[in-house]
A and B are shown apart, each in its own frame.
Chain A
Amino acid sequence: MEITGAEITVRCLQDEGVEFIFGYPGGAVLHIYDELFKQDRVKHILVRHEQAAVHAADGYARACQKPGVCLVTSGPGVTNAVTGIATAYLDSIPMVVVTGQVPTHAIGQDAFQEVDTVGITRPCVKHNFLVKDVRDLAATIKKAFYIATTGRPGPVLVDIPKDVTTARCEYAYPDKVELRSYNPVVKGHAGQIKKAMALLLEARRPMIYTGGGIVLGEAAAELAQLVRALGFPCTNTLMGLGGFPATDPQFLGMLGMHGTYEANMAMQHCDVLLAVGARFDDRVIGNPKHFYQEERRIIHVDVDPSSISKRVKVDVPIVGNVKEVLAEMNRQLAASGHGPDAAAVKAWWTQIDLWKGRDCLKFDRGSAIIKPQMVIEKLYEVTAGDAFVTSDVGQHQMWAAQFYKFDKPRRWINSGGLGTMGFGLPAAMGVQLAHPGAPVVCVTGEASIQMCIQELSTCKQYRMPIKIVNLNNRYMGMVRQWQEFFHGNRYAESYMDALPDFVKLAESYGHVGMRIDKPADIESALKEAFARKDQLVFLDFVTDQTENVFPMVPGGKGLSEMILV
């Protein structure tokens, strides 16, 4: 039987096992919405702005490993979605974005709500398609899911003109796809892995540095096994937190611009570095020239060959799925019967412990004004370290990363690559849908939260009991910090004037609002908020305006050139 393109679209989503689709209706997608209305297998979540639809799908994908799916209309629907798509692209999040387009005969005519969607999104998607013939629709959607979820994941966009959604053809969803031009490498080269293991076993100052690839590649167990078997120190990037348990004694904390002293020093001074699912970006190793000043040999495991030797020359490149490669490393290590140079590694740990003794994350615990770090520490205690924590972008993000000890992957959800303010709340919505009973916290600031504040309405509609921890310092804190350090204390436009009363704002959306301005009240407020299991609680913490994030590697400086508190 012939069915319409709109029906085919929805049938494909059903056959793909899609639970939720995040979206916002509009002219070009009305036929698809009509088909969504007629079924109940794919649940539609109506956001209040298309950017939030993409962030929510993104948060969902990060929290539960399945691809996020969203649906927006042509023109402004697409342009609003672009920030979300770029966010997912920079962090390699599997996602399928379905967009409406003006009818094929109107394309290129500057029609109402027409933009060149494929052109606009080309640089920020893994791949995109414009479907001009309904007979290609099902196969294209299948390809989109396949490309989005394999190799290095990423967002894939399918642009569907309105007349394609009304055209008819037979429906058959392909079982599998084969693309001659797309064959991601899975298994790492056994010889290279052998070389890597030999290098690791002769290391005197070894270091293991892992990124978001461990989380995306579901390789945390294999990583933990290897790190423990070797007894080496391990650090995670901002994207990789939770990839190795933060409470493990071999964990040195996060590295990079706001990484710990010990992690950055160990990175700089190691003699053999194993990098897994990480990409040596500017926020992680600082100035590559400075990084080169110390000699070290580097083993780099990544599913994306273009990530290898991009910013830093590598001695042993291994292209492959990180889970498979780490498993093979564990196998080879067990089979070899050899271990690392125990005396050398012990001496290395003595050095690291000296660096640890610097206590680089210390702050004034006796402060009469709330220190933002206190809030995160209490949040960690109250949630027993097991909440899903999303964040926006800025100082609060760094404090959350430094002070919430993530022991499991997929618990820490933030926009690492693009650094998108406004990500936290809509991402938390996606996370909450992925894990309905679990505690979900959005750590944010008064500047970031206002970038997607309208989603408080979506949270009400779908009864999402998210806890919003607003570290309100009346400044764009990270901008203010840079202005203090590098712009002579000239706080150009970084003061947040005319702020709303967040308590009343939350209440006006039908949620609970709380303001906390004394350190002694932090714990009780958090406990009360989490006791409200079916309500969204907006906790507005009035924090110290002058607090800065330390350590800090200034832009362009080397990893060991940190500003310390």
Chain B
Amino acid sequence: MRHIISLLLENEAGALSRVAGLFSARGYNIESLTVAPTEDPTLSRMTIVTTGSDDVIEQITKQLNKLVDVVKVVDLSEGDHIERELMLVKVRASGKDREEMKRMADIFRGRILDVTDKSYTIELTGTGQKLDAFLDAIEEGVVLETVRTGASGIGRGERILRI
């Protein structure tokens, strides 16, 4: 099953490779991984999307907790949470496609960030599924380039991950 795991870790050189190394050494999957410093510059916040049976997920959280640089781990999938991913997509936009592409971007609440005679660069935010849906909705062959950040997640309501 898909899980979205959030962690706070010391913002130190090598901390990211400890987490990445753990996943490869123990054969766990990483679908996506995002990391950046938090409002407290000594801490980084990481979101990992992974898949595995309940036993595997339990081991992943335990092994992450065991890393000396990891301060806190929470499996966001255990409760209500919000997740968002950002995608930048460059699409062909010429001739009759140009209007259609603008409409599609509007429908998906995308923003056109850059325009040339032949292309648009569109920013889209949402769950991974929404981004997939956009790519499915537009005509195949018009996509020139995509870049996605991977999911970031946060608990809903009063659930807070902090030290």
Contact = CB atoms under 8 A, between A and B. Distances in A.
Interface of A: 118-119, 122-123, 126-127, 130, 147, 179-182, 304-306, 309-310, 313
A164 B21 CA distance: 28
29 contacts: A118-B14, A119-B17, A122-B14, A122-B17, A122-B21, A123-B21, A123-B25, A126-B68, A127-B68, A127-B69, A130-B13, A130-B14, A147-B68, A180-B71, A180-B163, A181-B9, A181-B10, A181-B68, A181-B69, A181-B70, A305-B62, A305-B65, A305-B66, A306-B59, A306-B62, A306-B63, A309-B58, A310-B59, A313-B55
A182 B17 contact: no
Nearest to B66: A306
A181 B71 contact: yes
A130 B17 CA distance: 14
Contacts of B55: 309, 313
B6 to A, nearest CB: 15
A310 to B, nearest CB: 6
A523 to B, nearest CB: 48
A546 to B, nearest CB: 39
Nearest to B13: A130
Interface pairs A-B: 3 shortest CB-CB: A306-B62, A181-B71, A127-B68
A126 B22 CA distance: 12
Interface residues of B, number: 20
B18 interface: yes
Interface string B7-24: 001100110011001000
A119 B71 CA distance: 21
Contacts of A122: 14, 17-18, 21
B103 to A, nearest CB: 49
Contacts, number: 37
Interface in B84-120: none
Interface string B59-84: 10011011011110000000000000
Nearest to B58: A309
B27 to A, nearest CB: 13
Which one of B13, B21, B25, B66 has the highest number of Cβ atoms from chain A below 10 Å of its Cβ? Answer: B66
A305 B59 CA distance: 9
Contacts of B69: 127, 181
B43 to A, nearest CB: 9
A180 B68 CA distance: 9
Nearest to B60: A306
Which one of B21, B55, B62 has the highest number of Cβ atoms from chain A below 10 Å of its Cβ? Answer: B62
A126 B67 CA distance: 8
A130 B21 CA distance: 17
A182 B9 CA distance: 11
Contacts of A126: 68
Nearest to B25: A123
Contacts of B17: 119, 122
Interface in B106-163: 163
Contacts of B62: 305-306
Which one of B17, B68, B71, B163 has the highest number of Cβ atoms from chain A below 10 Å of its Cβ? Answer: B68
A62 B65 CA distance: 27
A304 to B, nearest CB: 7
A343 B18 CA distance: 53
Nearest to B24: A123
Nearest to B163: A180
Which one of A118, A122, A181 has the highest number of Cβ atoms from chain B below 10 Å of its Cβ? Answer: A181
A101 to B, nearest CB: 14
Contacts of A310: 59
Contacts of A182: 68
A122 B13 CA distance: 13
Nearest to A304: B66
A179 B68 CA distance: 9
Contacts of A147: 68
Nearest to A182: B68
A305 B60 CA distance: 12
A309 B58 CA distance: 9
Given A179-B68, A309-B58, 15 more contacts: A118-B14, A123-B21, A126-B68, A127-B68, A127-B69, A130-B14, A147-B68, A180-B71, A181-B10, A181-B68, A304-B66, A305-B65, A306-B63, A309-B55, A313-B55
Contacts of A304: 66
A200 B9 CA distance: 40
Nearest to A127: B68
A119 B65 CA distance: 20
A180 B66 CA distance: 13
B11 to A, nearest CB: 11
A394 B25 CA distance: 26
Contacts of A181: 9-10, 68-71
A126 B69 CA distance: 11
Nearest to B15: A181
Contacts of A179: 68
B77 to A, nearest CB: 19
Contacts of A118: 14
Nearest to A118: B14
Contacts of A306: 59, 62-63, 65-66
Contacts of A119: 17
B19 to A, nearest CB: 11
A119 B69 CA distance: 15
Which one of A126, A147, A182 has the highest number of Cβ atoms from chain B below 10 Å of its Cβ? Answer: A182
A210 to B, nearest CB: 22
